[in-house]
Chain A
Amino acid sequence: MTPDQLLADQAPTDAPLVSVQNLSRRFDVSPPWITRALYRQPRRIVRALDDITFAIQPKRTLGLVGESGCGKSTLARCLAGLMSPSGGVMHYAGKPVDLASKNDPKVRRAVQMVFQDPYASLNPRWSVEESVGDPLLAFGLAGSRAEMRQMVGALMVEVGLSPRDAQKYPLQFSGGQRQRIAVARALASRPAFLICDEPTSALDVSVQAAVLNLMRRLQDEYGLTYLFISHNLPVVDHMSDDVGVMYLGRLVELQPTESLFDAPRHPYTQLLIQTVPSLDTMGRASAPLKGEVPSPLNPPPGCAFNPRCPFANARCRVERPEPTALPGGGMVACHGVQEGRI
């Protein structure tokens, strides 16, 4: 059974497989109440995700870029059901779901995740067979241990390892091989939607190419839909059909990959693309983007990017820009673009 068949009765193919509307996630990082009472400190709330809306079509890849602390990983964890959003809804195959509530085992099985650090995401005391086979047993996909063993072997071959490797422990593998094992584990429950949070950031360039090629091939083979998170713009460009740019918990731009890289609209996207070190910017250290990402604890009022934005005006400092649709598809949240200044 392919993931397609699993979902065939649930959604027509042109409807989005995954969509989120006004997704928010707040973290309460207040000091303990006794400290607040004694020192009269207020509650402190971080808005890690603020009103995120997007949709992903089946078999497509949405790339997500942004700097540390912009909420990329929080978004991944909300979608994977590893934490509950504070507000907003997620739709999977047309139905509203709350994966963190464990009420949707069928959807939980169809949504899997690959994490950044293959040294931390595999249990060192479990053999590869135990790690990869666990979802098979948990979802009842394998009837017996023998069947499970056979399916794990097939998965290992699928990701470019040998069935004999299943008896080994994570310690015995290199970083690239571990990430292949993590991919095999994610594939074990035959998912339709794979959330990849910086899957190659911990890998060397030559190993990265092999893992990215593997992910591409698996996508074609199994008709997978990807949410691909990375801070590496060339990697996102290579992997994605559409790209979203996040800044301080907000989605500031979302466009088809080519238009985003050829004609970025949001000033943050423009500066991000200019500053990425590349082989073609040889000999000139590109004019770096001034300033730093503000603390999410204390975001600036108005547009969160206004302190670093060369085009910011009075309106940008007080009024928060809402997403506006772009003619070629996608959206941007910027007063300057709206007013035709940028």
Chain B
Amino acid sequence: MTAPLLDIRNLSVSLMRDVPLTVLSDISLQLAPGEILGVVGESGAGKSVTGAAVMRLMTRPLQQTGGEIWFDGGRIDTVPESHMQKLRGKQIAMIFQDPLTALNPVFTVGQQLVQTIRQHLPLDQAAARARAAALLGEVGIPSARERLDNYPHEFSGGMRQRVVIALALAGEPRLIIADEPTTALDVSIQAQIIALLVELARSRGMGVILITHDMGVIAEACDRVAVLYAGRLAELGPVRSVLTAPRHPYSRGLIAAIPRVGARLAMLPQIPGTMPRLDALPAGCAFAPRCPFVMEHCKTHRPEATPRADGVQVACWLEEGQ
């Protein structure tokens, strides 16, 4: 593997209250240039916090309590905010779930793009406008030049998300963090946006972190996938391996619970119970209370997500042969 573009090492994030609440615990992820890494998990598993931590968009009471974040060979979690502002939007950009709230309704799309471009690149008004039109064209908006003068409400949901992607591309970033970019969109439009993200990652050599709860999206777009559970990494590996032969009992349960066209089961396999509250995590493995393969050891000892021989990381005592 080439030198990682993004290297998250043992990242922990806590919600600082009277008793600090750990929302992300000891997460390590690497991302190569041009690679698309999926991050899946239930609501509250820590998907979005991971993205926010890399962007340093966490506000109090959320706080990084451990670990390091390296981007392009330099550590970014300790640099001053002024330095981070130069990275944010320029080197690392973010795409949010709801394209309507990510755009300012009182400015035209062109104004927003030109402003963002000139923030990051030394271009004059005319050159920035030409660049804005080129970006809209690149993300697949027809008659891009004319549409620059439209307001966000004049675009459909799918087109708006394309505009948001164009905005993210404005600084020519090397890493894009996409937090549920297709969740608010229709199925046929969702497929278009995923195809666009994959193509951009390949053509520009951009790294993409794709945060989603939709395994179908992961299957189509990602090279590798990280499964989070209760703020911890449960499994990390190539998409094919994790989706067709999941090893962590949680990944297995999660993937079995997804309805598939043509399966025609009477009942869907379901994982008993619910994800524990973060303030009431069990002592050992967080999944132990729901796990069908639970052993005594699991209840007291927390498993590490160590890399196995085949490159898959699984945080499970079953893998240790305990």
Contacts and interface: CB of A to CB of B under 8 A. Distances in A.
A277 B217 contact: yes
B257 A208 contact: yes
- Which among B188, B216, B217, B260 has the greatest number of chain A C-beta atoms within 10 A? B188
A296 B269 CA distance: 39
Interface residues of B, number: 47
Contact of A216 (B156, B187, B244, B266): B266
Contact of B260 (A176, A210, A278, A282): A278
B262 A204 contact: no
Contacts, number: 144
Interface string B193-205: 0110010000000
Nearest to B260: A234
Given A233-B187, A289-B191, A205 B254 contact: yes
A238 B240 contact: no
A146 interface: no
Contact of A261 (B198, B243, B261): B261
Contact of B194 (A261, A271, A277, A292): A277
B62 interface: no
Contacts of B221: 285
Contacts of B158: 292
A292 B159 contact: yes
Contact of B261 (A174, A273, A283, A286): A273
B187 A67 contact: yes
Given A207-B274, A278-B216, A279-B219, A286 B191 contact: yes
Contact of A288 (B192, B261, B271): B192
A234 B258 contact: yes
B216 A210 contact: no
Given A204-B213, A206-B42, A278-B261, A285 B195 contact: yes
Contacts of A277: 187, 190-191, 194, 214, 216-217, 219-220
B268 A213 contact: yes
16 contacts: A67-B187, A68-B186, A204-B213, A212-B268, A216-B266, A238-B265, A276-B261, A279-B216, A283-B220, A283-B239, A287-B195, A288-B188, A288-B191, A292-B158, A292-B159, A292-B189
Given A235-B259, A282-B220, 5 more contacts: A67-B186, A209-B271, A277-B220, A284-B220, A292-B158
